A and B are shown apart, each in its own frame.
Chain A
Amino acid sequence: MPTQQTDYFQLIYRLLLGLISAGFLWIIWPYISNVVLILVFAFLFTTVLLSSVDALEKRIRSRGLSVLIVTIGVLSGIGIFIGSFISQLSAQASDFSSRVDPTTLTAEFKNLGERFITALPGFAANMIPSGGDFASTLSGFVETVVNNLASLAGAVGNFVLNAAMILIFTIILLAEYHGFRKSLVSYISNKYFEIGLRLIFNIEKSVSSYLRGQFLSAASVALMSVIGLGILNLSGANLTLIVFIGIIAGLANLIPLVGPFVGMVPAILIAFMNNIGNEVALSHLLFGAVPSPFFILDIILMFIIVQQIEGNLITPTLVGKSVGLHPMIVMIALIIGGTILGPLGMLFAVPATGVLKVIGQEIAFVRRNAHLL
């Protein structure tokens, strides 16, 4: 049948075209990846800040001024947070170094290791290699850090440049967002115009609702972590930088599945740094029964409770199923994102999959209504 033949030819042609495009993208990707990443970040920041700019524009009736005020506000917030975090952390670090000398540190590590091994059941204790020299590992690590200082400076420079580019692109996108969208849709042919407009609108809605949901849940995790850490502090955990640890836990929560565990690390480190040499903290028992040196298990339990409240109570109530992806799909997306782009890929994996889902739904919608276009 001629129609069938044409269809096969069209299919093969499309397949070849797709393969050639994918191959071309594969070749040029190393050269454009940085720019693409900058644009993706700028787009995400724009999506997050767009509603604030629109709301401000509603009040002051000036788009430019709204963008300026929101940008200055966000930059000041980040600057104040990072500045005070660095100053407090350096104060904490100098206090830690004045209190602890390397010999005490090694002894504490050994002591801690022994306590852990004795607390563990026999089969689990046998799995941990004995005789680990923490002090030499630590000095090796310091040496590596010093040696890599030059490349670190380069990386910092690169980061600052990328951050500046993201900022510039975000400001431009925020100021010209509606015009930019209008010029983008003007390239769509008449036949697919309304459907294209609908697709863009749905993608925007999906991404912004996902991001808003993520930020709401991150804020709730941050707040609950601060409260939880405050309660632990009252029970003698001797924690400092509680607000910063809470905010970091909230930000880490933006990465699904892995983030919550990453969020615990600063709290555990601070607990360790503050309580080193403190015999009471070393021999602390959780619920008076389970050994929890330096309140580590208390902290982990607190974060698990926070995660459970956030995951089962707050997110379903406040956010709902913002993207509506199956957990299995989320995990696969995270693995793929993590493999391609590392932690950044994990951060973007879920919204990107959400966008793909919306595109898929719209393609299905277009196919159903193709005879009407």
Chain B
Amino acid sequence: MKNALWPNLFRGWNRTESETVYTLKQVPVFKDFSKKEFTELEKLVHHRTYASGDFVFKNRAPGEGMYIIMKGTIKITIGTRSGNEQVLAELEEGDFFGELALFDNEPRSANALAVADSELIGFFTADLLSLQDRNPQMTNKILMNLGGMLGERLRNTNNLLFEAQTKSNNDANTAD
């Protein structure tokens, strides 16, 4: 079994930036940010800690923004009753979720539950709007990156849909 002591002991020993900036750099939403822009972003984001078993948010709750995992594990589920719960994803350090709330006023579409003690970075609509007044270039970058990500997801969904349709047509032809 791999010993976690050494990687953890020397983790970030040659890193000049803070742990927050290090985590933010892994998120594609903040792609192409300069060092100065990351420092600016660091001042804006919120640090939150969640104990294992705490909900970050619940399905249908009003959503205000996105979270980036700095430490810990977050489980994304749908279905509220135990037994009826369906796990959509289990997210680790550097992953992010809830970014759709930055775009719309719609309620959350899934539950986010901490399955281990977790440290999250929150970035919310209010922060994005306040950044827009002071640094529109940065806001543009964030929105363009988010748009790019959503476009990529849409393309992937289209491909999956196309594959599913082709498969279903082939199955129908074989049956005939």
Docked CA distance A192–B60 (Å):
15
Give B60 Cβ to nearest chain A Cβ, in Å. 6
Give B68 Cβ to nearest chain A Cβ, in Å. 15
With a cutoff of 8 Å between Cβ atoms, the chain A residues found around residue B43 in the complex are 178-179, 182
Given A178-B43, A179-B43, A200-B126, answer yes or no on A194-B133 (Cβ-Cβ < 8 Å).
no
Interface window among B48-56, B85-93, B154-162: B48-56
With a cutoff of 8 Å between Cβ atoms, the chain A residues found around residue B65 in the complex are 194, 197
Q: Are A190 and B61 in contact (CB under 8 A)?
A: no
Given A178-B44, A178-B130, A190-B48, answer yes or no on A197-B58 (Cβ-Cβ < 8 Å).
no
Q: Is A198 an interface residue (CB 8 A)?
A: yes
Given A51-B133, A178-B44, A373-B61, answer yes or no on A190-B50 (Cβ-Cβ < 8 Å).
yes
Q: Are A372 and B50 in contact (CB under 8 A)?
A: no
Using CB atoms, name the residue of chain B closest to A53: B134
Interface size class of B (residues with CB under 8 A): 20 to 34
Using CB atoms, name the residue of chain A closest to B50: A190
Counting chain A CB atoms within 10 Å of each CB, the highest count among B54, B130, B134 belongs to B134
Chain A contact residues: helix, strand, loop or mixed: helix
Of the residues B64, B129, B134, contact of A194 by C-beta under 8 Å: B64
Docked CA distance A372–B64 (Å):
14
Q: Is B47 an interface residue (CB 8 A)?
A: yes
Q: Are B64 and A198 in contact (CB under 8 A)?
A: yes
| Cβ contacts A188-212/B at 8 Å (1 or 0 each) | 0010011101101100000000000
Interface residues of B in 1-57 (CB under 8 A from A): 43-44, 46-48, 50, 54, 56-57
With a cutoff of 8 Å between Cβ atoms, the chain A residues found around residue B136 in the complex are 58
With a cutoff of 8 Å between Cβ atoms, the chain B residues found around residue A193 in the complex are 46, 48, 122
Interface size class of A (residues with CB under 8 A): 20 to 34
With a cutoff of 8 Å between Cβ atoms, the chain A residues found around residue B107 in the complex are 372
Give A49 Cβ to nearest chain B Cβ, in Å. 13
Q: Are B60 and A194 in contact (CB under 8 A)?
A: no
Given A58-B136, A197-B124, A372-B60, answer yes or no on A190-B130 (Cβ-Cβ < 8 Å).
no
Q: Are B130 and A373 in contact (CB under 8 A)?
A: no
Docked CA distance A58–B134 (Å):
5
Using CB atoms, name the residue of chain A closest to B45: A182
Q: Are B58 and A372 in contact (CB under 8 A)?
A: yes
Given A51-B133, A372-B58, A372-B60, answer yes or no on A194-B47 (Cβ-Cβ < 8 Å).
no
Of the residues B46, B59, B134, contact of A185 by C-beta under 8 Å: B46
Given A179-B43, A186-B47, A194-B63, answer yes or no on A55-B133 (Cβ-Cβ < 8 Å).
yes
Give B139 Cβ to nearest chain A Cβ, in Å. 11
Q: Are A195 and B126 in contact (CB under 8 A)?
A: no
With a cutoff of 8 Å between Cβ atoms, the chain A residues found around residue B133 in the complex are 51, 54-55, 58
Using CB atoms, name the residue of chain B closest to A193: B48
Using CB atoms, name the residue of chain B closest to A58: B134
Q: Are B62 and A186 in contact (CB under 8 A)?
A: no
Q: Are B61 and A372 in contact (CB under 8 A)?
A: yes
Q: Is B166 an interface residue (CB 8 A)?
A: no
| Cβ contacts A281-316/B at 8 Å (1 or 0 each) | 000000000000000000000000000000000000
With a cutoff of 8 Å between Cβ atoms, the chain A residues found around residue B46 in the complex are 182, 185-186, 193, 197
Given A178-B44, A186-B46, A198-B62, answer yes or no on A58-B135 (Cβ-Cβ < 8 Å).
yes
Give A223 Cβ to nearest chain B Cβ, in Å. 27
Q: Is A108 an interface residue (CB 8 A)?
A: no
Using CB atoms, name the residue of chain A closest to B125: A201
Interface residues of B in 84-135 (CB under 8 A from A): 107, 122, 124-126, 129-130, 133-135
21 A-B residue pairings within 8 Å (CB atoms): A54-B134, A58-B133, A58-B134, A58-B135, A178-B130, A190-B56, A194-B63, A194-B124, A197-B64, A197-B124, A197-B126, A198-B126, A200-B126, A201-B125, A201-B129, A369-B61, A369-B62, A372-B58, A372-B59, A372-B61, A373-B58
Apart from A190-B50, A197-B124, 6 more pairs, CB < 8 Å: A54-B130, A178-B44, A178-B130, A179-B43, A182-B44, A200-B126
The 5 A-B residue pairs with the shortest CB-CB distance, nearest first, are A372-B61, A201-B126, A194-B64, A54-B133, A54-B134
